Each structure stands twice: as structure tokens, then as C-alpha cells.
Amino acid sequence: MYEPYQSWDAHRPPRRNRRPVTIAVGALLALILVPVGVDRLATARVESRTATAFQAGMHTPAAPEVHVRGFPVLTQLAAGTLRHVDITARDIPASATTGPLPVSELSLRLRELRKSDDDTEALARSADATALLSYPDVSDALGLEISRGTRPEQVRASVQLPTGDDVTVAATVSVLSGNRIAFKDFQVTGGLLPERGRLALGKVFERPIRLRDIPQGLHLRSVTATESGLVARLSGESVTFRSDDGSRGGSVEGDSSYGNA
């Protein structure tokens, strides 16, 4: 016997109400994402404030790049100490009173950075740093045209004599106490240099270059001649950035209260 037509929907089991599940998932995501978003906002703000403070202290034309590592940052701010902070500053000018050698790029890796109670200093428990000194700047400091030598620890200088002849000399770069770069083992590698010129150039290389525009507490460990310039590697403990002590190198002026996110 013919049965009346019944649609497929009539045999389908009733739909379950998925709305409570959707609401629960959304609430869970909100609980996860909101703290993450707040932490990212706090991180961005402290990075911006730190960059502004370091720019004022180092007198750079542009704000340095600052990256605060570790999650969550809010708990670090509450404790008053940032565990890991990376800072890259470029074109740090030389002081007119302390020497003619600027720092083309300074990369800092700071550990446990905190501000002093009176907000006048930023202190890092320890730090590693790399400073790039360009050959044009080194040439200006020495009064000679300096370039990379044939070995990683060697630089070369080109000198034009009053007679019009060109002479090439070389020297080995090394580290002296007091964050100084020394030029030793001076020798003529090309051309003929009169004894008088040899003595004059020897005196030029006898004068070491002191690194001044770096934070207090960093100590020069090594120096290498690369294609783009001299690369100085430094490290130290209790590295200090002062807000306003009348010095240029390594000071941090202005608002250095990075902990106030």
C-alpha cells in the first residue's frame, strides 16, 4: 500500500544546540588571548620608552631597536627587572671633548636590566656587546687611510709620499687595558718608505684608540678587522647607563623609567 511521502528531515535526529559549546570556546579563547594582548601592549610600550631613553643618552640620530625577550613581560615589570633586553643602536656620535671616533653600530645583550631607586640609572647585571668602528672613522682618528689587512687581526694603511709615490703599511690590532685598541707590529708591505717617514708613521700607530662612547662597565675583550670595519667585542657585569652625569658615553638621559608600563 502506498505510504504518504515523508521528507528526509522527518527521519533526521533533532539537532543539538551547539550554542553553549560555541560560547564556551569563545570565552576560553578570550581568557587566553586577552592576557597575551595586554602583555604585548606592555612589551611594546616598555620597548618604546627604553628606546627613547637610550637615544637621549647616546645622542643617536634615530631611536635604537629594542627587543624585550621572555613571556610574560608584565610579571617582569611587576618585579622591576627585565630578564633579557637586546638593543641595537647606530651612529653613536663621538664626543668633541673625548675623541673623534664614533661607533657605527653597537649591539647590546643585557641581562636583568633594572632601574635605580631614584630613576637616574639603568643597571644590567651583565652584558655582552659588539661595536662596529667603520674604516672611514678609524681613518679620521689616525689620520691615515685605513682598510682591512690580509689577516683578521691586521689593518692596512695607504700613504702618499711628497714625491707622489704610494706606500702601503700594515699593523696588527690588539686590545689594551682601559678599552683601548692598539696598533702593533708596524711594517712596510709595499713601496719604499724613507726612514724619516717610517719614524713618523710609527709614532702614529703607537697611539692607541680609546673606546669612550659605550656604557660603563663594558670591557673590551677582542678586536677583529672585517670587511666593513673593526669589530670590537665587549662584556662586563654591573653595566650602568646613567641618566645625567655630565658625560656623553654610556649615559641615559630623559625618561629611563622603563618599568612604568
Element (H, E) at 57: helix 19-58
Cβ atoms within 10 A of the Cβ of 4, count? Answer: 4
Residue 261: what pLDDT?
A: 36
- The rounded mean pLDDT for the chain is 80
48: left (phi over 0), alpha (psi -120 to 50) or beta: alpha
Which of 48-57, 98-107, 191-200 shows the lowest per-residue confidence on average (mean pLDDT)? 98-107
Residue 132: what pLDDT?
A: 96
241: β partners? 122
Across 2-11, 145-154, 193-202, which has the greatest mean pLDDT? 145-154
Place of cell 630613576: 119
> How is residue 6 annotated by DSSP?
-
What is the value of pTM for the model shown? 0.76
Distance, CA of 259 to CA of 254 (rounded, Å): 14
Across 53-62, 175-184, 201-210, which has the greatest mean pLDDT? 175-184
Average pLDDT over residues 44-56: 88
pLDDT tens digits, residue range 75-110? 888 888 999 999 999 998 876 555 568 899 999 999
